[in-house]
Amino acid sequence: MLKQAMDFKMENDSLYQLLQTLDEKILEQTTQFKGWTINDIVQHLHFFNYAASLSLNDEKGLLELLADLRASQVRGETMLSFTNKQLKGIRGKLLLKLWQKFYNEMTGTFKNANPKTRVKWAGPDMSVLSSITARLMETWSHGQAVYDVLGVVRRDRDYIRNIVILGNNTFEWAFHNRKKSAPRCKPFLRLVSPSKKIWEFNQPSEENFIEGTATEFCQVVSQTRNIQDTKLAVVGTTANKWMSIAQCFAGPPQTPPAPGTRFLGSTKTDQ
């Protein structure tokens, strides 16, 4: 059984439980992420869950879908406009049910798949393991905008280690994606997990390291927080350069949010 598929389901379940009780009007609330609404975020997550499922079961269908997406962008159409058309404008409670039903079905498919099987994607081919880990990361990162706008403190679980590993593994890529040479040595990572375990990665160093919570490290590499808005200790030229451009998701280089623009709203409750 592919454990990461169950981790993916748990993160989706947590977000669904948060959203299912909300009024339809609240689902149209604008978040701090590019002015997207909560509905926009759920549409986006569902669309790319569907695309990831096609990568496993219908390669031709995936390639056709991606070709349509690229063509729409050439025409100047936004991502939100494209996904909204693909989903026939479904929003609100009906969208939540569609998203929940599909991610549960998708979990079963990925859970029993060979983690080493290579699948197509918008960028380079990847393994099934990398594919479902990317879906976990995207659910977690886009979900952050939802928790923020609702003023809810998310209680992370130790499966965010998957996102930490993804962030660490994309160190070189973050530089190469910007046509820069990657430094030879990765910073030493010493992170505190949600359950207070200590996670360490890379060669120990007192001159090139990042230390703090795993949650804040994940927030920076997934670009849901600017490094200046965290309490991470970042020491050394390489560590600072990386944290200023870190990007653990595929696609062209994206600029991290400006300091002070992504934050938790007035806290209502814990989740």
**DSSP labels, 110-145:** HHTS-TT-EE--SSS-EEHHHHHHHHHHHHHHHHHH
Domain membership flag for residue 252: no
Q: 270: pLDDT confidence band, cut at 50, 70 and 90?
A: low
From CA 271, how far away is CA 68, in angstroms rounded?
A: 38
- 100: CB partners within 8 A, 6+ apart: 12, 16
What is the DSSP code string of 154-177? ----GGGHHHHHHHHHTHHHHHHT
pLDDT at 124 (0 to 100): 85
φ, ψ (nearest 5 deg) of residue 136: -60, -45
Render pLDDT for 146-194 as a digit per residue (tens, 0 to 9): 999 999 999 999 999 999 999 999 999 999 999 999 999 999 999 999 9
* Residue 269 confidence (pLDDT): 56
Residue 239 lies in a domain: yes
Same domain, 147 and 166: no
Q: Is position 268 within any domain?
A: no
70 shares a domain with 102? yes
Each residue's pLDDT tens digit, 183-225? 999 999 999 999 999 999 999 999 999 999 999 999 999 999 9
- Write the pLDDT tens digit of every residue in 108-139: 999 999 999 999 998 889 999 999 999 999 99
Return mean pLDDT, the chain. Answer: 96
Read off φ and ψ for residue 208, nearest 5 degrees. -150, 90
Could you list the residue range(s) of the whole structural domain that residue 193 is in? 162-245
How many separate domains does the chain show? 2
CA-based R_g, the chain, Å: 18
Bridge-partner residues for 210, per DSSP?
189, 234
Between the two ends of the chain, the Cα-to-Cα distance in Å is 28
Tokens 């197509």, located at residue: 120
CATH code (residue 134): 1.20.120.450
